[in-house]
A and B are shown apart, each in its own frame.
Chain A
Amino acid sequence: MSGVGGGTRDKITRLQELLERVQMRAAARGGEHAHETHETHETHEGTAARTSPPPAMYDERGMSEAPPTPAYDAAYASVHPASEPSVPPEADEYEVEVSSEVVEVDIDIDEPMPLESGAQPVAQQTMPPDELIEEDQPMTREPSMRPPAESREEEVVHAAPPANEIEEPTPSSSRRPIAGEEASTEAYEAESSPRHTPPPESGKQVAAPSAHPPSRKPSAPPPSLEGHTLIGGWREPGLGTPQISPAAGMGTGVRVPAPPPSAPHAGYGARPSGTEPPATVVHGAGVAAQASGTRLTADVTQPELSSGANVASFTGAPAIDKPKTLGELLDLTLGL
Chain B
Amino acid sequence: MASSSFDPTGAVRFDLRSGSASDSRGERLVLVPSAALDLLSSEALAKIGEHLGRECGASVAARLGGESGVRASDVETVISHLAGELAIAGIGAVHVERWGRALLVVVSNASVNDDAFVGAVLAAAMSAASGRGVAAAALGRNAGEARYFLGSAATAERVRGLVGQGQSYAEVVASLQGGAS
Q: Mark A309-336, 1 if CB is under 8 A from B, else 0.
A: 0000000000001011111011011111
Are A329 and B73 interface neighbours, CB within 8 A? Answer: no
Grouping DSSP codes into helix (H, G, I), strand (E, B) and loop, the B interface class, with mixed when no group exceeds half, is mixed
- Nearest chain A residue, comparing its CB with the CB of B79: A326
A330 to B101, CA, bound (A): 9
Nearest chain B residue, comparing its CB with the CB of A321: B101
How far, in angstroms, from A325 to B152 measured CA to CA in the complex? Answer: 18
Q: Known interface pairs A334-B134, A334-B151. Does A324 touch B101 (Cβ–Cβ under 8 Å)?
A: no
Give the complex CA separation of A332 and B102 in angstroms: 7
A326 contact set on B, CB distance < 8 A: 70-71, 73-75, 77-79, 129-130
CB of B179 within 8 Å of the partner chain: yes
The complex places the Cα of A159 from the Cα of B179 at a distance, in Å, of 114
Question: B12 an interface residue at 8 Å Cβ cutoff?
Answer: no
* A334 touching B179, Cβ below 8 Å: no
Contact with B along A131-148 (1 / 0, CB 8 A): 000000000000000000
Q: Type the 1/0 row for B137-181, where 1 means its CB is closer than 8 Å to any CB of A.
A: 000000000000111100100000000000000000000110111
Tally of B interface residues using CB under 8 Å: 29
Q: Are B102 and A336 in contact (CB under 8 A)?
A: yes
Within 8 Å by CB of A330, from B79, B100, B132, B149, lies B132
Within 8 Å CB of A335, what residues of B?
A: 101, 180-181
Asked if B151 contacts A325 (CB within 8 A), the reply is no
Docked-complex contact B75 and A329, CB < 8 angstroms = yes
Say yes or no: A325 contacts B100, CB within 8 Å. no
Contacts of A336 in B (CB 8 A): 101-102, 151-152, 155, 176-177, 179-180
Query: What are the residues of chain A within 8 A of B151 when measuring CB–CB?
Result: 333-334, 336
Report if A325-B73 is in contact (Cβ < 8 Å); known contacts: A334-B132, A336-B180: yes
- Give A44 to B30 CA distance when docked, in angstroms: 176
Across-interface contacts of A321 in B (CB, < 8 A) = 100-101
Q: Name the CB-closest residue of A to B179.
A: A336
How many residues on the A side are at the interface (Cβ–Cβ under 8 A)?
A: 13
Q: How far is the CA of A330 from the CA of B103 in the complex (A)?
A: 8
Least CB distance from A320 to B in Å reads 8
User: Using an 8 Å CB-CB cutoff, how does the interface string of A290-324 with B read, 1 for contact, 0 for none?
Assistant: 00000000000000000000000000000001011
Number of A-B residue pairs, CB cutoff 8 Å, is 60
Most buried by B among A324, A325, A333: A333
Could you tell me the distance between the alpha carbons of A333 and B149 in the complex, rounded to whole angstroms? 9
Q: Is the CB of A332 within 8 A of B101?
A: yes
A327 touches B134 (CB 8 A): no
Name the residue on A nearest B64 (C-beta).
Answer: A326
A335 to chain B, nearest CB (A): 7
Please tell me if the beta carbons of A325 and B72 are within 8 angstroms of each other in the complex: yes
A330 CB, nearest partner CB in chain B, Å: 6
- Asked if B98 is at the interface (CB within 8 A of a chain A CB), the reply is yes
The docked-state distance in angstroms from the alpha carbon of A332 to that of B132 is 13
Residues on A with C-beta less than 8 A from B75 are: 323-326, 329
Contact B71 A327 (CB under 8 A): yes
Distance in Å: Cβ of A169 to nearest Cβ of chain B? 114
Interface residues as binary, B100-130 with A (CB distance below 8 Å gives 1, 0 otherwise)? 1111000000000000000000000010011
Nearest chain A CB to B146's CB is how many angstroms away? Answer: 18
Chain A residue at minimal CB-CB distance from B154: A336
Residues in B whose Cβ lies below 8 Å from that of A329: 75, 98, 103
A321-B100, A324-B75, A336-B151 given; A330·B134 CB < 8 A: yes
Contact B130 A327 (CB under 8 A): yes
In the assembled complex, the Cα of A329 lies from the Cα of B179 at a distance in Å of 18
Digit string of B63-93 for contact with A (CB within 8 Å is 1, else 0)? 0000000111111011100000000000000
The 0/1 profile, CB within 8 Å of A marked 1, for residues 22-50 of chain B is 00000000000000000000000000000
- A324 and B72 alpha carbons, distance in the complex (Å): 9
Known: A324-B75, A326-B74, A336-B152. 17 other contacts (CB 8 A): A324-B74, A325-B72, A326-B73, A326-B78, A327-B71, A329-B103, A330-B71, A330-B126, A330-B132, A332-B103, A333-B103, A333-B149, A333-B150, A333-B151, A335-B101, A336-B101, A336-B177
Q: What are 5 A-to-B residue pairs whose CB atoms are below 8 Å?
A: A324-B74, A325-B74, A329-B103, A334-B132, A335-B180
Of all A-B residue pairs in the complex, the 10 with the closest CB atoms, nearest first, are A327-B71, A333-B103, A332-B101, A326-B78, A333-B151, A336-B155, A334-B152, A336-B180, A336-B176, A326-B75
